Amino acid sequence: MRSRTTRRAPPPSRLRIAWTVLILGVAGLMIAAILAPVPEAEPVEVALTLPAAPDPYAPGPDRSGSEPVLMAAPEESEEPPQTPEEALAAAGEDAVIITVPEAAASRPRAAQPAVLPSRPDPALTVSAADGPRPGRGADGSTPFAAYRRAQAAGEARGLALVLSGLGLDPALTERAIDELPPEISLAFAPYARDLPDLIARANAAGHEVLIEVPMGTPGVAPGALGPAGLLADRRPSGNMRRLDWILSRAPAYPMLTNYLGEGFSRDSQAIGLVMQRLSEVGLGYIDDTGQAEAAARAAGVPYAATDRLITPDSGDLAQTLRALARSARSDRVALGKVYVTEDAVDILKEWAEGLPQQGVALVPASTAAAGS
């Protein structure tokens, strides 16, 4: 009887062993990557030295006795930016340390419809000593007409709102641009860093924009207005020099608005020269003093006076906004102006959401301007 022999399987080749090890290794790495916790972004410490009484414009009064010098915009400086360590070392004992997560800077923003020009119109841009600024076109067209957001209230009662004081607090400014309804107009301080970029971002989100003009008012030291503040007792050439610098802070926007300025606006000659310059340039003007209407009409400047100015001292913001909404009428657009605070964005969002149920439609501030 023939015996049966058992054949042994040939040993695996080196190539097969190598492939098996490679596949198992890649699979292990993928599993480890999936199960590994996501590392948190390292926070960046930023040192800010805050004055005892926060001033939205100036570091303090000018004690030199000489005329303030208008400096180049911060973004044009050749000085290298400070590192966080250098800022902390230079801040001193009065510094307030703010921790800013790096991930916040890359937060995605919701897409908004393009309702405003995406870039300045060369036909409405003038090259000036301080940089490009808006100007009338050769055909008579104006930056006011080109860069405003035209929108009617329809059958609802129209209400316009300007949120002012933006550009100095980056976090608040970013929230206002990204989170508020695009119908709310945004006013920026002239000393804001990267102002053209901020205006472009606000336009992309649907907001029309204004630039603030600091003006003298009783009880406020001139130095508190910053180096570009306009004063009624200064020579007209000095005020016009400062106004031209403000106009050149960005190349494309439709309107200016005052910061303070009750005393300056009461001086017919001083405010008259400002309105003449705005007429030459083709810009509109939003006024919260109630003193500039005659000068604006004489110069043919699109103009609106606020029905209500809401400052941090005005009391409960939500209650004041509700009163403003009740003042809206069907025959004219009511206009309010709010100075930004830490809680203003949240309160404005909630307030705006309830307006349609009251038969009130938010519209851009330019809609309230006579001559628009």
Supply the pLDDT for residue 18.
Answer: 60
The CATH label, of 3.40.50.300, 2.70.98.60, 1.10.150.240, 3.20.20.370, for the domain at 123-368 is: 3.20.20.370
SS (H, E, C) the chain: CCCCCCCCCCCCCHHHHHHHHHHHHHHHHHHHHHHCCCCCCCEEEEEEECCCCCCCCCCCCCCCCCCCCCCCCHHHCCCCCCCHHHHHHHHCCCEEEEEEEHHHHHCCCCCCCCCCCCCCCHHHEEEECCEEEECCCCCCCCHHHHHCCCCCCCCCEEEEEEEEEECCCHHHHHHHHHHCCCCCEEEECCCCCCHHHHHHHHHHCCCCEEEEEEECCCCCCHHHHCCCCECCCCCHHHHHHHHHHHHCCCCCCCEEEEEECHHHHHCHHHHHHHHHHHHHHCCEEEECCCCCHHHHHHHCCCEEECCEEECCCCCCHHHHHHHHHHCCCCCCCEEEEEECCCCHHHHHHHHHHCCHHHCEEEECHHHHCECC
Give me the pLDDT at residue 15, please: 62
For position 155, what pLDDT does the model report? Answer: 77
Instruction: Kindly give the pairing relationship between strand 334-339 and strand 308-310.
Output: parallel
Per-residue pLDDT of the chain (372 residues; tens, 9 = 90+): 445 554 555 555 666 666 665 666 666 666 655 555 545 444 433 333 333 333 455 433 333 334 444 544 434 333 443 444 444 454 444 433 333 333 333 333 333 444 687 789 999 999 999 999 999 999 999 999 999 998 887 878 999 999 999 999 999 999 999 999 999 999 999 999 999 999 999 999 999 999 999 999 999 999 999 999 999 999 999 999 999 999 999 999 999 999 999 999 999 999 999 999 999 999 999 999 999 999 999 999 999 999 999 998 888 999 999 999 999 988 889 999 999 998 999 999 999 999 999 999 999 999 999 765
Angle at 40 between CA 37 and CA 46, to 5 degrees: 170
The set of residues, in sequence order, having a beta carbon less than 8 Å from that of 266 and lying 6+ positions away, is 232, 289, 291
Q: What is the pLDDT of residue 116?
A: 80
Beta strands 95-101 and 43-49 are antiparallel
What pLDDT was estimated at residue 19?
62
What pLDDT does residue 370 have?
77
Residue spans per domain, the chain? 123-368
pTM (2 d.p.):
0.72
Question: Which pLDDT belongs to residue 9?
Answer: 53
Cα four-point dihedral sign 279, 285, 289, 294: positive
